[in-house]
A = this chain, B = another copy of it.
Amino acid sequence: MGEEIRYKQVILSNYVKTSVKESDLSLRTSKIQLKIPCGCDGAVLVKNLYLSIDPFILALMKNQELDLPSFTLDSVSLVFLKVMRCTNLRLKINVFRVIILGMPGMTAYVGFFKFCSPKKGETVYVSAASGAVGQLVGQFAKIAGCYVVGSAGNKEKSAFALMKVDLLKNKFRFDEAFNYKEEQDYNAALKRYFPDGIDIYFDNVGGKMLEAVLNSMRLNGRVALCGMISQYNSLEQPEGVHNLINALVKRVRMEGFFTSDHYHLYPKFLEMVVPLIKEEKITYVEDIAEGIESAPGALFGLYSGRNVGKLLVVVARE
């Protein structure tokens, strides 16, 4: 029969309209029997230890026409990174490695090396640079011999934003970093950090920042469209990008990508990153919230920039 246990789920109660609200999510307690259904040889019983809270989740919580597998109402929503405890296999769990060797690491690798085609000496700008992917992109850019500037921030001007900017420069070794919330004029900020223009933009935010970057882009620049967090929340209508003429005149390549399309590159990625980890040439900061009850709050915080690095919710320690 298997042991019957009670467990908690985060449920999507309403499709999100513009900004995600507390009432859009609810907690539900259910019961489940811990057994593998008959006839499922080789099946694995898993326990979620961590939830991964990622910017793109909001897109799945809206009832909109995108070619994405959206969440459905009244069903489990916040289950992503399934770190498994198995009944019939032995797997060692290491959060650090799950992140760097997992989705965020691969996203930074594929996005930067495949889609940005970096060359030594080029200038690189990373938005949302203290986030899960951004902090690794910056470190990869330094390893590739590029000049790299990151922006970070949060809704309020705060010591917390300062800390993020400090992390970028002093922990992740970006050449420069700035709090975008303190910039009245993104064009001016980018001109300050890139007087000769930007070769590569690793875009995690979209919208007005993307527009400003296009003004500062150099000939034959590349833009990897990795995320558009500025456009997921709080906007009745997405912001328009009015200066795509720059992409034409400057022969810029803009390309969207999903990491999941590129897992054939995983062995090459490991070949590069494993020695870097061993030699401690790459570092990582994660932001961990405790307990599944904290998951909705962690999600709200993500869109206000209240996290530093990869945002995780610990559901259980083991």
Identify the A interface with B (CB < 8 A). Answer: 59, 66-68, 206, 210, 219, 225-228, 231, 237-258, 261
**Known contacts A247-B225, A247-B256, A253-B255; A239/B238 CB under 8 A:** no
Query: Across chains A and B, which 5 residue pairs bring their CB atoms closest together, nearest first?
Result: A240-B240, A248-B256, A225-B248, A253-B255, A247-B256
List the number of copies, as a whole number: 2
Distance of A245 Cα from B231 Cα, bound (Å) = 8
A238 touches B243 (CB 8 A): yes
Q: How far is the CA of A59 from the CA of B249 in the complex (A)?
A: 10
Q: Are B261 and A251 in contact (CB under 8 A)?
A: yes
Pick the contact of A66 from B226, B249, B261 — CB < 8 Å?
B249
Contacts of A228 in B (CB 8 A): 244-245, 248
Q: Which of these, B227, B247, B248, contacts A248 with CB under 8 Å?
A: B227
Pick from B226, B244, B250: contact of A67, CB under 8 Å: B250
Q: Which residue of chain B is the closest to A256 with respect to CB atoms?
A: B248
Asked whether, in the complex, the Cβ of A245 is within 8 Å of the Cβ of B67, the reply is no
Asked if residues A242 and B248 are in contact (CB atoms below 8 Å), the reply is no
When chains A and B are docked, how far (Å) is the Cα of A59 from the Cα of B243?
Answer: 13
Q: How far is the CB of A208 from chain B (nearest CB, A)?
A: 11
Instruction: Note all chain B residues with C-beta closer than 8 A to A67.
Output: 219, 249-250
Give CA–CA (A256, B249) in the complex, Å.
7
Please indicate the chain B residues that have their CB under 8 angstroms from the CB of A59 in the complex. Answer: 245, 249
A242 to B255 CA separation, bound complex (whole angstroms)? 16
Q: Measured between alpha carbons, how far is A256 from B246 in the docked complex, in Å?
A: 8
Question: Do A242 and B239 form a contact, CB below 8 Å, given A253-B255, A261-B251?
Answer: yes
A246: chain B residues at CB < 8 Å are: 66
Q: Which of chain B's residues have a CB closer than 8 A to the CB of A242?
A: 237-241
Closest to A252 in B: B256
Q: Chain B contacts of A225 at CB under 8 A?
A: 244, 247-248
Given contacts A59-B245, A68-B249, A251-B257, 16 further A-B contacts (CB under 8 A): A59-B249, A66-B245, A66-B249, A210-B244, A226-B248, A228-B244, A238-B242, A238-B243, A238-B244, A240-B242, A241-B242, A247-B254, A249-B256, A251-B258, A253-B255, A253-B256
